[in-house]
Amino acid sequence: MVERMEVDSPPRAPKPPPSTREVGQLERWIETLYKCQPLSEEDAKRLCEKAKEILVDENNVKEVQAPVTICGDIHGQFHDLMELFDIAGKLPFTNYLFMGDYVDRGHYSVETVQLLVCLKVRYRDRITILRGNHESRQITQVYGFYDECLRKYGTAKVWTYFTDLFDYLPITALVENEIFCLHGGLSPEAHTLDTVRAIDRVVEVPHEGPMCDLLWSDPDDRMGFNLSPRGAGFVFGPDISKEFNHANGLKMISRAHQLVMEGYQWAHNCNVVTVFSAPNYCYRCGNQAAFIELDEDLTYTLMQFEPAPKRGDVSHMVHSRTLAMFVFFSTLFVVDAWKRWHPVNYTKTAFHRDLEQEPKFVDIHFENTCQWEEPLCICYESSNANELTRMIERRVCGANSGYFCVGSYLGQPIVFADYIGTMRDTVKDVSLPFKGGKTFVYDVPFFIPQFLHQVGLNENKQTLWRGTTCEEGAVYVTGGLSPFKNSGVH
């Protein structure tokens, strides 16, 4: 077991390079993983042990030399990672800095994270892997990595090995003392790099505080720090990024964490750039991906790329720009004369109780039936809660329409606090969980159905609708049918 290194402990002697025997073993693992074949359970355990020995010596602000290629979210899209390597070059011929979110949502989280960690162990000075908000136990239990490990190994041991390893990943990087790289964004509790260096990072990602903010926050057009629609971290304005860069002698902040349709997006007068490296995100968003190539002089080139050609993937990759906007801004159906909302009865079975052992899901209580007699917008899964709120603010569906939000919004409860005062003409109550362990009841015309993401993430009792019907007989739910509730919604 690797010992925990305290922040103010003296620096350790660098680990010796791997022996010839270890190099041979790592090369065989890399060859296997490049074929999209996962390691054995025992090899995965050994890999994580080797990686911990390296990562424990890396600073919270990992210093990186140029030239380097900076990449954003990968999210288990293994074949698209291979496409990135084909374009930018493979290790050790190209240096890399990955800004987190290697797992969840894609079909190959196991192979993706194993390959990147294996490359880190083999070429420790040529690749930096930072922690993203999805490199946590809580998030991976909900968004796919946990279930994928169960499917591919039959147990959760490999998931445990890697989520333990995630605690050791650096949370930020600094390229040539001028470009600050991290997954999320800035924190009101971390104004300097020295503050970031002092964080005790070898923990599960906390629900609040500077470490949480660095992995969860987003840039925004409003000045200062404001509440985030994600329910974790903050949104920070151009004044914040300008002050942070000036105080720390930086030229730019490079971050990931948000789907951007062109693969990259500048913000705050070029003080911040968002990079997203998962093309056609979730195999349906139709977005391009991008990465940044930095040369020795810190001259940057933003490189865009499309999804890899289909290589036996079970998903259908869609490139239509029409469909991209369909997903990005949410699909809208206006339904007149909706009469009644019917919460589905939630009856626990032995199967459900078994599932609740790991992770521990909370009970959700459904008490009321809501009456609705006005036009209603049905908003399907959105890639970005900020875009959804802007869409609603513009009243796309008309001033008298309510909104029923079906599906996940990057897994976070949507808090429409900024719009409460302007949207009281169609008022209903909904309980929304909020950061800090509290639950507030807002008078807002939103109804969010209960779905697995919120059950797994929140510790509060919430009023959430599981589904609804209209008089024409259509049924709207987040997921689908259950073998335990064949009667469905009446």
- 231: alpha, beta or left, given left = phi > 0 and alpha = psi -120 to 50? left
Using CA atoms, how far apart are residues 84 and 107, in angstroms rounded to an integer? 17
Q: Show the tokens assigned to 364.
A: 């959700």
Q: Is-catalytic flag, 75? A: no
| CA gap 202, 219 in Å, rounded | 26
| DSSP-derived secondary structure letter, 449 | B
CA 238 from chain centre, in angstroms, equals: 23
Buried/exposed 227-259: b ≥16 CB within 10 Å, e otherwise: ebbbbbbbbbbbebbeebbeebebebbbbbbbb
Catalytic residue among 75, 79, 107, 134: 134
Angle subtended at Cα 120 by Cα 119 and Cα 122, rounded to the nearest 5 degrees: 60
Question: 49 by DSSP, 3-state: which?
Answer: helix
Other residues' Cβ atoms within 10 Å of the Cβ of residue 350: 7
CA dist 289 and 282 (Å) reads 12
Calpha distance 455→475 (Å, rounded) = 21
Q: Is 378 helix (H, G, I), strand (E, B) or coil?
A: strand
Phi first, then psi: what are they for 119, rounded to 5°? Answer: -65, -35
338: nearest Cα among 468, 488, 478: 468
250, 299 Cβ separation under 8 angstroms: no
Q: What is the rounded CA–CA span in Å between residue 336 and residue 342?
A: 17
CA distance 73 to 327: 18
Q: What are phi and psi of 453, to 5 degrees?
A: -55, -45
- Positions annotated as catalytic residues are 134
